[in-house]
Chain A
Amino acid sequence: MEIIAVKTGREMTRSYSGLGGTFASLAYSCLDKKTIPGFHEKGLIAEAELRVGGMLLVLSGKRSETELMEIMDIGLENIGAFPGAGKAKYIIDVKSKE
């Protein structure tokens, strides 16, 4: 299993557990398709960058940490990752553009 941690600020972190390759699916969506799984409209992702052990994701518009987490929750569940605990193999740092 692959544990992915999502950080949307200093306080908020949530972990997801998916089959191996889940992070690769998410990275392809964000970097190549310029979208988050489950969100079909263009323009949601302002910036996406792979980093060692994870990814930086900047979403367009002004969004609270909770809103960012809600988006990521939908995105991850739409590629088969569910809330779960464990040592994260990947960390996704999610920020709001404004």
Chain B
Amino acid sequence: MALKTAKEYLDSVKKLSPRVYCGGKWVKNLLDNNVTRSMVMANAAIYDLAADPKYKEIMVAASHLTGEPINRNLNVARNLHDLDMRQEMALLTSQTVGTCNYRCVGCDALNSLASTTWEMDRDLKTKYNETFNKWLAFAQANDLAVSGAITDAKGDRKKRPSQQDEPDTFVHLVEKRKDGIVVRGIKVSQSGAIGSHETLVLPGGALREGEEAFALAFAVQNSVPGLTYICQYNAYSAEREFCDDESELGSPMYGQRETSTMVFDNVFIPWERVFLCGETKYCGKMVTRFAKAHRMNCGGACKVGFADLIIGGTVLAAEYIGVDKVPHIQEKIIDMVRFSETSHACAIAAAMRGREEPKGSGVFLPDDLFGNAAKLNIAHGFWEIIKNAGDIGGGLVVTMPRQKDLEDPEVGPMLKKAFAAAAPAEKRLKVAKFLQHWSAGLHGPGTWHGAGAPQTQRFMISVLTDFDAKKKMAKKVMGMKEE
């Protein structure tokens, strides 16, 4: 089997029993809990997309290992077209589910691993790339949902991993055995591991000599003993958990975005799933390569898909109150498109200016500068987009009653009278709730921090930009002599 259907994915999830804690309770079954189910259903929708002939070019690739058709979420980019389709997949999946493609981080992690393990084998004569390719072929053959865990809990930011009072703030090695390794520590802000068959764990940042215990990359199965997932919980979680009708929610089926804190309590990882163990020199490369892929996809395409939904909702809101032809409203909507499409243009540029890295590896990664520009641009632009959505959507976006209140025999008629405008109250409240989901939800800070907070992009842009060359150009045009 190369491509799973959504039903096959859901059937496979029914057999998974991860140790999941969500909102004060242990979750026995991911599909029985309103909050965790939204994550699983989003993943199922991504499987559905791959089965739709209309999206085959975007969602399906040919495995470079076997030649078989595979879900693009498990593909290693081998050329510019692969990179371009990868970012198009990020756009399409966001437009479709309005939340994470929970296989996205895993996809970018596996591209980084393909590149970096190849380099390690070349330089160090290790067997990591061979091990990784065997794991990847297995994941592709079974069309596994693979998520990624990168960010360590990090503890006191002034201290290095080995200096932390609590060593578990970074995932680290406990024991090297003949058959594998034992790890412990904490990864945070992890998207969708609860409903993924496997999660790729990468180092959270560059490491130095002496920090070998923290230099780890591996794949971990969903429900291994010792692994606990503690889900995020917020007002939106509570609303979903306790509502009696999910159709009333801003994003009824797929929710806001579900993350968890992954706690590794002496988890065993067999060598067949270990892709880096102790090689500190390569951790920075591994993370940087992940970041350059993820900034193109997360920044320049995924959030653009979200923006498409927000813009659509905002235009509807304007129409429903009869202000869609008002010049300043149109101007604000055009600004939303400008912010969004500028980022998408950067993502397309990052893909088309991508290159093989390292030379000879066969792995293509996006252009770093364009990818960072895409992410930095949307990090700022997204606030503007949701600001305009709140502006045009009006106070109703946060002051609205429940949609269901319209059906109440006593207050329903009052509310219908109050909120009917150029469209009935039902439509106005529906779109207001949708805009509330975005503009008063989790996606602002999520977009800011996802794929790294903007300061990391500013740093990368400062490193990647040849300011001396620019100064030289300016001097030449000014007729200023070189000193």
Contact = CB atoms under 8 A, between A and B. Distances in A.
Given A25-B270, A28-B268, A29-B268, A19 B134 contact: yes
Nearest to A27: B179
Contact of A40 (B17, B135, B270): B17
B224 A37 contact: yes
Interface string A21-33: 1101101110011
A79 B273 contact: no
A80 interface: yes
Interface string B205-228: 000000000000000011111100
Report whether over half of chain A's contact residues are helix, strand or loop; otherwise say mixed.
Answer: loop
A78 B16 CA distance: 6
Contacts of B226: 33
Contacts, number: 76
Interface in B325-370: none
B19 interface: yes
Contacts of A56: none
Nearest to A22: B270
Given A29-B225, A78-B221, A78-B223, A21 B15 contact: no
A38 B272 contact: no
Interface residues of B, number: 26
Contacts of B395: none
A19 B135 contact: yes
B197 A80 contact: yes
B266 to A, nearest CB: 8
Interface in A45-98: 73-74, 77-80, 82
A80 B198 contact: yes
A21 B142 CA distance: 17
Interface residues of A, number: 25
Contact of B272 (A21, A33, A82): A21
Contact of B138 (A19, A28, A38, A39): A19
Nearest to B28: A40
B180 interface: yes
A29 B224 contact: yes
Given A35-B225, A37-B223, A21 B16 contact: no
B419 interface: no
Interface in B380-437: none
B272 A79 contact: no
Nearest to B16: A78
B236 interface: no
A74 B12 CA distance: 10
Contact of B134 (A20, A29, A40): A20
Contacts of B271: 21
A74 B135 contact: no
B138 A1 contact: yes
A28 B266 CA distance: 11
B180 A19 contact: no
Contacts of A79: 221, 223-224
A18 B272 CA distance: 11
Contacts of B198: 80
Contact of B222 (A22, A35, A78): A78
A25 B225 CA distance: 9
Contact of A19 (B222, B268, B273): B273
A24 B221 CA distance: 13
B268 A24 contact: yes
A38 B268 contact: no
Given A40-B19, A77-B16, A24 B225 contact: no
Given A40-B19, A79-B221, A79-B224, A25 B135 contact: no
A19 B135 CA distance: 7
A78 B18 CA distance: 8
A24 B223 CA distance: 15
Given A38-B17, A74-B15, A78-B222, 14 more contacts: A19-B134, A21-B179, A21-B270, A24-B179, A28-B225, A32-B268, A33-B225, A40-B17, A77-B12, A78-B17, A78-B221, A78-B223, A79-B221, A80-B198
25 contacts: A20-B272, A21-B179, A21-B271, A21-B272, A21-B273, A22-B270, A24-B180, A24-B268, A25-B180, A27-B179, A28-B180, A32-B266, A33-B225, A33-B226, A37-B223, A38-B15, A38-B223, A40-B17, A73-B15, A74-B17, A78-B17, A78-B221, A78-B223, A80-B138, A80-B198
